[in-house]
Amino acid sequence: MLKLGVEPHVVTLSTLINGLCKQGKISHATSLFDEMVDKGYQPNLIVYSTILNGLSKTGNTDRAVRFLRMMEDRGFEPNIVAYNTVIDSLCKKGSLNEALHLFSQVKVKGIRPDIVTYSCLIHAMYDLGQQEEATRLLNEMVDNNISLNIFMYNILIDAHCKDGKIFEALDTVDTMKKQGIEPNLVTYNILVDAHCKEGMVSEAKDVVGTMIKQGIEPDVVTYNILVDAHCREGMVSEAEDIVDAMIKHNIEPNVVTYSALINGHCLQNKMDKARKVFQLIIKKGCAPDIFSYNIMINGYYKAKRIDEAMELFHEISQKGPNLDIVTYNTLIECICKLGRVSSACELLRKMIAFGQVPNVVTCSFLLNGLCKSDKLEEALELFQAMRNSKLELDTVCYNILIDGLCKSGYIEDGKELFHKLSVNGLKPSVYTFYND
């Protein structure tokens, strides 16, 4: 349009930018915005808000904050919707303090926070375990005559459940109903999951029954929660019945469903059955994810079928998905327990080469393997390398090395390492004193 000498209308510009943002092409959208500004075109609040929303929704939080400031500097006063977009993005990024600072600025400007503003902040606070702050903000919200909606109630119910307070969660459901707000699918899934995590599988099924009576049909999430819970309780046959029920209700099992079944078979050491389910995933065109592979590898390891575990490892290395820290740690533990410490160290080198950073669990497995293979010098080198890499070693790592030193006759070195525990802010365990 510009090349043809046609001045774009604000609606045209907004539509173009909105379309680019919806497609995730935020760089194209911002480039178009900059081009228009450079040519003297003055975007209005709609265009600014569209870009701001696009930046926030695509995880470009820092750019969204800068863009918000630019709006203010150019004389455009963002409304609460615009501020909510950035506050939500900051909360999801984990920058709660910055979100609260922006929240304070909103109030100073005389802009009234709404239910969305409070929901974003309270949700983030509960996720970070800041219950007291969340309660304070909730009370502030009520004092400002902002009524709770279903989304807000679900946040509260979920927070109670994550804290193991199922009865408080149920009381909140009752309060919600008294306010004329009926539980929805999300509410019921939260309650089903909470009961299952407490080992109350029968009660979880009762919740599903209530849900159906209220005219709300279980979805794939509901079924997956039940399948996983039954498998963890050793009721794999019942879990398979639930999968059959899913299919009868035209709900297609997904990789999460099948991974739960695989885990159930692995927990019962029935690796051949687990393998059949694993192959079924592939047959259905539902690609196994790294979680599925990790379950299988760990199952083979526990069943002492190491060759099959390594076979799967090589399969992932060649075809994907990307290996994660759990995969590497499982295999390193497995190889070390077989006494093949050199192979475990080689795997560590490959792990680092592929960009996967070892954690304290990796370190403890390798230290244990090296010490038990009488490779104390290599264990000390690894320990020092981990410390130099700024990895926060825990008491377990110290215990392993102290034990190795003492058993090899290096009592004084063991004592010296013992005293370094407190220097590094760690507390000795009973096992540490036993070694010392």
Position 275 scores a pLDDT of 96
Position 72 scores a pLDDT of 86
Residue 350 lies in a domain: no
pLDDT in tens, the chain (436 residues): 444 444 555 567 667 777 877 777 888 888 877 777 777 767 777 788 888 888 888 888 999 999 899 888 888 888 999 999 999 999 999 999 999 999 999 999 999 999 999 999 999 998 898 988 988 998 899 888 898 999 999 999 999 999 899 999 999 999 999 999 999 999 999 999 999 999 999 999 999 999 999 999 999 999 999 999 999 999 999 999 999 999 999 999 999 999 999 999 999 999 999 999 999 998 888 888 999 999 999 999 999 898 899 899 888 888 878 888 998 999 899 888 888 899 899 988 988 888 888 898 998 999 999 999 989 889 888 888 888 887 777 888 888 888 888 888 888 877 887 777 765 656 655 444 445 4
Residue 13 lies in a domain: yes
Query: DSSP 3-state assignment of 23?
Result: coil
Residue 297 lies in a domain: no
Residue 261 lies in a domain: no
CATH value at residue 129: 1.25.40.10
Query: How many separate domains does the chain show?
Result: 1
Position 297 scores a pLDDT of 93
By C-alpha distance, which of 19, 69, 45 is closest to 32?
A: 19
Return d(Cα 114, Cα 144) in angstroms, integer. 9
Residue 65 lies in a domain: yes
Residue 68 lies in a domain: yes
Task: Provide the domain limits for residue 29.
Answer: 1-146
Residue 63 lies in a domain: yes
Position 431 scores a pLDDT of 47
Burial class (CB in 10 A: 0-12, 13-18, 19+), 6: exposed
In which residue are the tokens 């290096």 written? 410
Return d(Cα 418, Cα 26) in angstroms, integer. 54
Residue 278 lies in a domain: no
Return d(Cα 119, Cα 156) in angstroms, integer. 10
Provide the token pair at 418. Answer: 């013992």
Regarding pTM above 0.95, the answer is no
Position 432 scores a pLDDT of 46
Position 32 scores a pLDDT of 77
